[in-house]
Amino acid sequence: MLELVDLCKRFGDVVALDGAGFAVEHGRILGFLGPNGAGKTTAMRVVFGLVRPDSGTVRWDGGPVGPGERLRFGYMPEERGLYPKMKVRDQLVHFSRLSGLSKAEAGSAVDHWLGVLGLSGRGDANLDDLSHGNQQRAQLAVALTHNPDLLILDEPFAGLDPIGVESLAGTLRELASGGVTIVFSSHQLDLVEDVCEDVAIINEGRVVLSGRLDDIKNRSTKRRLTIDVDGELWIPDLAGVEIVDGPEPSHCIVDADAPIADLLAAANEVGTVNRFVFEPPRLTDLFREAVTS
């Protein structure tokens, strides 16, 4: 299990982490979410010793995290960390050796992951000759070639086309089924909802919501209500109704104890009800509530 416990970190007058913490078990995938500047990247860097917290601890399987443990971790930063003019395979072997693999082990592991990630024909290319998406895949390969027990990825899906996204999501699920603990950040909440079993939402340096996603949804006092009357969103006459417009179809957020039968009857009096859906909130709804309340 990875545990972040009461992490605090200041950079001058800026509070990056303010008692942040969450836990994720072996073989689970956790989506680490938050607005820009909320503290996600700082928390990830603390795990790898790249940032020293002012207070708080990071634990792996109940013990402190030191250099030996970090050799079993894989990290993919959001920013590029590879050499643009160096051949892809050569530098992946180089980074694999730094993680403790022998030359033969590194070569075999690199060739395996180049194949899995769709780069088997690009190993002799310089990094800056690759497309943005393939550079992303090469960066991910660095985090995977030493077969880590913990994988932390900062915006791993950025720049990938839909086929690449689907392929990477499948790879993460396969790794988790083999016992790898995975934490990744993303602003693509629909993707996080599809891939992740657990979430932790951080805002202004504090984790404001965390746990198993299904449990969080079921515990919520709110529900998502969508009523389509004559092809348009019908707004119920209820106190506290929140109308949500966005990339998804418009819907309402209402209390979980809203009078559903009465609402359906009222909608039928207005016109033809083409769609009536009352369901737990989705991750986008939970996220919006967590970072604005």
Give the chain's domains with CATH numbers. 2-213 (3.40.50.300), 220-292 (no CATH)
Q: Which residue has the tokens 């995975």?
A: 182
Question: Tell me, what's the pLDDT at 248?
Answer: 66
Q: Compute the distance between CA of residue 207 and CA of residue 185 in angstroms, rounded to an integer.
A: 14
Q: Is the pLDDT of residue 159 over 80?
A: no
What is the rounded distance in angstroms from the CA atom of residue 168 to the CA atom of residue 181?
Answer: 15
| Closest of 278, 259, 271, 178 to residue 230, by C-alpha | 271
- Helices 88-98, 103-116: inter-axial angle, 10-degree rounding: 130
Q: For 179-232, what is each residue's pLDDT tens digit?
A: 999 999 988 898 999 999 999 999 999 999 999 999 999 999 999 999 999 888
Give the other-Cβ count within 10 Å of 177's Cβ.
10
Closest CA to 181 of 192, 197, 165, 170: 197
Q: Tell whether the model's pLDDT for residue 21 goes beyond 80.
A: yes
Q: How far apart are CA 173 and CA 84, in angstroms?
A: 30
Which tens digits make up the pLDDT trace of 234-280?
888 888 888 887 666 688 899 999 898 998 899 899 899 999 999 99
The pTM for the full model equals 0.88
DSSP 3-state assignment of 279?
A: strand
Q: pLDDT by residue (tens digit) across 94-147?
A: 999 998 899 999 999 999 999 988 898 888 999 999 988 888 889 999 999 999
Please check the confidence at residue 157 and state whether its pLDDT lies above 90.
no
